[in-house]
């Protein structure tokens, strides 16, 4: 009986009674098919992982391209904006006094209070706090007067040619209060700013300050 006849004579419902050679052949065929399918699944999963990674890289590159394209399209606007910022920065630097000008500025602040009709009770400069290219000088001030005079003082400070900012403002009645008196006490911290000299700045601060101060 040849191989074809043996296959035709098999009882497919009872594989246990098949001849040994047929069982080995069928088992080998099933193993080969299963191994092939397993290999295909493994290759597919590996290629899918690589595909997803490539797709992610492509999305990132595309996003970078769009960002750079947007920057290139707006380069002229960015350049103009940078020049405007440099001009503004230079103008602010020119409003900062030098080391030798600070005493005159302190006198101007004090005289602004006197000119507004206020009575100066305290004028106490504190320690300087140095930043990148400037130093901040806080001054504790106490003045007595009326609301109207306080308003004139604040307006006078704003009109000074140098930058002076007011902080920690507190207004309270003067004690002991006289009958019919509208005198108030104004406590605040005024901050002035001066330009650091070359010998006070670091190398990076010098470069930034000189670039900003260029007209």
In three-state form (DSSP H/G/I as H, E/B as E, the rest C), the secondary structure along the chain is: CCHHHHHHCCCCCCHHHCCHHHHHHHHHHHHHHHHHHHHHHHHHHHHHHHHHHHHHHHHHHHHHHHHHHHHHHCHHHHHHHHHHHHHHHHHHHHCCCCHHHHHHHHHHHHHHHHHCCCEEEEEEECCCEECCCEEEEEEEEEEEECHHHHHHHHHHHHCCCCCEEEEEEEEEECCCCCCCCCCEEEEEEEEEEEECCHHHCCHHHHHHHHHHHCC
Side-chain-facing half-sphere of 140: CA atoms under 13 Å: 5
Looking at the fold, whether 35 and 125 belong to one and the same domain comes out as no
- Specify if 79 maps to a domain: no
In the predicted model, is pLDDT for residue 110 greater than 70? yes
Task: Show the domain range for 38.
Answer: 1-9+18-73
CATH number for the domain harbouring residue 112 = 3.30.70.60
Q: Which range has the top average pLDDT, 58-62, 129-133, 138-142, 175-179? A: 138-142
Q: What is the pLDDT of residues 138-177, one digit of tens each?
A: 999 999 999 899 999 999 999 988 888 999 999 998 877 6
Q: Can you give the C-alpha Rg of the chain in angstroms?
A: 43
Looking at the fold, whether 64 and 139 belong to one and the same domain comes out as no
Q: How many CB atoms lie within 10 A of CB 194?
A: 22
Looking at the fold, whether 182 and 111 belong to one and the same domain comes out as yes
Q: What is the pLDDT of residues 10-42, one digit of tens each?
A: 666 666 666 666 677 777 888 888 888 888 888
Looking at the fold, whether 150 and 104 belong to one and the same domain comes out as yes
Total tally of structural domains belonging to the chain:
2
CA distance 160 to 203: 31
Looking at the fold, whether 198 and 105 belong to one and the same domain comes out as yes
pLDDT tier for residue 111 given thresholds of 50, 70 and 90: very high
- Specify if 2 maps to a domain: yes
Mean pLDDT confidence for 196-201: 71
- Paired tokens of 7: 């296959």
Selection from 128, 171, 164 nearest residue 148 by Cα = 171
Looking at the fold, whether 4 and 68 belong to one and the same domain comes out as yes
CB 163 within 8 A of CB 92: yes
Looking at the fold, whether 105 and 63 belong to one and the same domain comes out as no
pLDDT tier for residue 203 given thresholds of 50, 70 and 90: very low
- Specify if 78 maps to a domain: no
């Amino acid at each position: 009986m040849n191989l074809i006849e043996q296959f035709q004579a098999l009882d497919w419902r009872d594989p246990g009674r098949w001849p040994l050679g047929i069982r080995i052949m069928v088992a080998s065929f099933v193993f080969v098919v299963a191994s092939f399918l397993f290999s295909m699944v493994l290759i597919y999963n590996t290629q899918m992982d690589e595909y997803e990674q490539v797709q992610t890289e492509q999305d990132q590159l595309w996003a970078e391209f769009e960002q750079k394209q947007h920057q290139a399209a707006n380069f002229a606007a960015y350049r103009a904006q940078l020049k405007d910022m440099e001009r503004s920065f230079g103008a602010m630097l020119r409003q900062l006094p030098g080391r030798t000008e600070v005493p005159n500025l302190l006198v101007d602040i004090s005289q602004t209070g006197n000119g507004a009709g206020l009575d100066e009770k305290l004028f106490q400069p504190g320690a300087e706090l140095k930043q990148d290219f400037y130093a901040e000088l806080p001054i504790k001030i106490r003045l007595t007067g009326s609301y109207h005079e306080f308003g004139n003082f604040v307006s006078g400070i704003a009109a000074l040619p140098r930058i002076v900012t007011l902080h920690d403002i507190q207004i309270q009645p003067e004690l002991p209060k006289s009958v019919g008196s509208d005198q108030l006490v104004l406590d605040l911290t005024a901050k002035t700013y001066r330009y650091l000299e070359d010998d006070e700045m670091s190398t990076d601060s010098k470069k930034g300050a000189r670039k900003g101060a260029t007209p």
